């Protein structure tokens, strides 16, 4: 259906409203991410405790050597391990803070947890496991179970260490091995280390005055306490529940709370965009007819559908950059106004409906898709506390306080998210010459493909900055896993011991990232959120590669085609002076 033709002033007025709402929020906040804390110690330590590891078995410290060690046990580790196994590599260890594989799907077991990406695209290795998802969108338990199935198929449990946090990863220049220390007293060695700790792994809390004084029960969404709530939330029938945050987790949790709890207070700083999620059970006849290779073909079709055709590109070539940007922004605004219209159609109370409307461009914040979140606010037991951009700034023994009103709660749930795309979230990483990775990044992130970084031989980073960003994260992680497995296989096949990216290859990629970022002021104009470092100023290289997913994938292949141009290849026993510098 063609969009109604509107005067440009209509769009300019909405953009001004977007800007006003962004500035309002920036005025309330400490700079950038300083408004949060992820250092969960002392009185806050309880928010990091793993509720799913009922008993952590005692064991002696380990001091052995493996060929490949993964820090983290989510999809990054699972996908790469599968490809390494296919190439004949046996000595693989996963070291995981939780008590099982699964990563984000191990930790996020809150009621209603599901994936917003179509299951046939999101769940990886479907062909390899001969599995077809149950529904169009997969629920959390199915995804967690799929992670476990991958680990079983590729025998990844045998050497795995669970309930173990890596605290230091240091390159031993003499032995040309990584020495990996953990909180269990382990000092392991590995030829290759892969940082697979995930893009959203370390829980964070809003820095709210008095939060330690709350006398009721509380937890973070990624540490859901089913002992308190009951497996089906049946223990909440006589409880008053509050939830701080209205992002992706809260959007899935609130409808579940609304069904059971005596009262639910939703504390909102900035509303999410909520669109329809068309879901249905998988048609068994369709599943039965699938041919080998179906998932790859499907993903390729989806990617091609979102890319512009050559004809459209040619047509855009006749349009000035300014006109092209204007048309893109207007289409974005039309979409967001459709989101507003949907809210008006669903939410009965006009004041609540207005408060739920997101005033920012689509993709400024993570979009959400849910059919029951908005209707929840029509229930008499659900109350929206709209802080109009300020957020909750005070909590006392009874509960949150806003605009002079105290909200007395039995349970307070923090849906405040995670640190984003941090490499080495619990551990310090030291490369050649004892250089700390964070010190290297202090003047700007420097990598090749977001995977390799000079001076850190045989270290691979997954899901970090300077890689491509994809809403379907597992597809991007699969390309990284394929690339890493190919690089390790190359080193082994050539009879070498290590590879370290050359400075000029790293510089080429940094400039590539910069070239494809900062073409517009979209990030700065967005309302604060984790997509733009909470509105904090950032260097142009400290972000994702925005040249397109297909081009990113092609760059990976081009790098592998010229391994000796892009990497130093080091034989066992060659001195450390050859690492990270020209011979």
Q: Each residue of 119-169: pLDDT tens digit?
A: 999 999 999 999 999 999 999 999 999 999 999 999 999 999 999 999 999
pTM confidence score:
0.92
- Fold (topology level) of 65-202+420-578: FAD/NAD(P)-binding domain (3.50.50)
Do 65-202+420-578 and 205-270+383-416 share a fold?
Answer: yes
- The pLDDT of 70-76, averaged and rounded, is 96
Q: For residue range 300-336, what is the model confidence (pLDDT) as tens digits?
A: 887 887 766 544 654 556 778 888 889 999 999 999 9
Q: Is 16 exposed, middle or buried (0-12, 13-18, 19+ CB in 10 A)?
A: exposed
* Structural domain spans, the chain: 65-202+420-578, 205-270+383-416
Q: Which residues are CB-contacts of 311 (< 8 A; sequence separation ≥ 6)? A: none
| Domain 205-270+383-416 -> CATH class | alpha beta
Percent of the chain whose predicted confidence (pLDDT) is above 70: 89
Q: Which residue shows structure tokens 């993570």?
A: 366
- The pLDDT of 359-386, averaged and rounded, is 95
CA atoms within 13 A on the CB side of 411: 26
Q: Pull the structure tokens for residue 392.
A: 């909750």
The DSSP result for 502-533, as a single string, is -HHHHHHHHHHHHHTS-SSSHHHHSPSSGGGG
- pLDDT for 204: 83
């Amino acid at each position: 259906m063609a969009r109604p033709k509107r005067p440009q002033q209509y769009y300019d007025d909405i953009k001004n409203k977007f800007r006003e709402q962004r500035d309002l929020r920036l005025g309330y906040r400490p700079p950038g991410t300083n408004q949060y804390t992820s250092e969960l110690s002392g009185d806050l330590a309880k928010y990091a405790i793993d509720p799913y590891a009922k008993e952590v078995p005692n064991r002696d410290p380990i001091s052995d050597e493996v060929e490949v060690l993964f820090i983290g046990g989510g999809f990054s580790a699972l996908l790469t391990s599968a490809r390494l196994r296919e190439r004949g590599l046996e000595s693989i260890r996963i070291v995981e803070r939780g008590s099982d594989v699964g990563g984000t799907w191990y930790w996020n077991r809150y009621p209603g947890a599901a994936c917003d990406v179509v299951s046939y695209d999101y769940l990886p290795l479907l062909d390899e496991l001969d599995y077809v998802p149950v529904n169009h969108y997969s629920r959390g338990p199915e995804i967690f179970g799929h992670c476990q199935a991958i680990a079983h198929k590729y025998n990844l449990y045998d050497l795995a260490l669970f309930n173990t946090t890596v605290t230091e990863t240091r390159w031993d220049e003499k032995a040309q091995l990584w020495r990996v220390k953990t909180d269990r007293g382990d000092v392991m060695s590995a030829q290759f280390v892969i940082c697979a700790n995930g893009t959203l792994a370390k829980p964070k809390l809003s820095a709210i005055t008095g939060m330690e004084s709350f006398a009721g029960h509380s937890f973070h969404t990624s540490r859901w306490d089913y002992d308190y709530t009951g497996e089906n939330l049946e223990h909440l029938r006589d409880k008053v529940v509050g939830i701080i945050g209205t992002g992706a987790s809260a959007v899935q949790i609130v409808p579940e709370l609304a069904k059971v709890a005596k009262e639910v207070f939703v504390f909102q700083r900035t509303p999410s965009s909520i669109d329809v999620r068309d879901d249905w059970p998988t048609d068994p006849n369709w599943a039965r007819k699938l041919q080998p290779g179906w998932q790859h073909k499907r993903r390729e079709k989806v990617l091609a559908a979102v890319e512009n055709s050559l004809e459209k590109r040619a047509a855009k070539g006749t349009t000035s950059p300014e006109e092209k940007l204007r048309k893109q922004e207007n289409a974005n605004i039309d979409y967001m106004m459709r989101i507003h219209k949907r809210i008006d159609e669903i939410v009965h109370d006009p004041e609540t409906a207005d408060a739920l409307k997101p005033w920012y461009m689509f993709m400024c914040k993570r979009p959400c898709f849910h059919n029951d979140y908005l209707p929840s606010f029509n229930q008499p037991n659900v109350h929206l506390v709209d802080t109009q951009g300020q957020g909750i700034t005070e909590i006392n023994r009874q509960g949150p306080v806003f605009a002079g009103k105290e909200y007395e709660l039995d349970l307070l749930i923090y849906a405040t998210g995670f640190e984003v795309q941090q490499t080495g979230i619990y551990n310090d990483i030291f490369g050649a010459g004892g250089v700390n990775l964070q010190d290297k990044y202090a003047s700007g992130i420097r990598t090749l493909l977001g995977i390799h970084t000079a001076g850190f031989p045989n270290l691979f980073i997954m899901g970090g900055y300077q890689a491509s960003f994809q809403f379907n994260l597992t597809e991007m992680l699969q390309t990284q896993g394929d690339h890493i497995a190919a690089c390790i296989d190359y080193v082994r096949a050539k009879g070498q011991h290590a590879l370290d990216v050359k400075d000029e290859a790293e510089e080429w990629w940094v400039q590539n990232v910069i070239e494809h970022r900062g073409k517009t002021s979209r990030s700065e104009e967005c309302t604060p959120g984790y997509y733009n470092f909470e509105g904090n100023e950032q260097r142009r290289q400290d972000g994702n590669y925005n040249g397109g997913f297909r081009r990113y994938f092609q760059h990976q292949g081009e790098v592998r085609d010229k391994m000796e141009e892009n990497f130093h290849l080091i034989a066992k026993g060659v001195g450390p002076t050859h690492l990270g510098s020209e011979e």
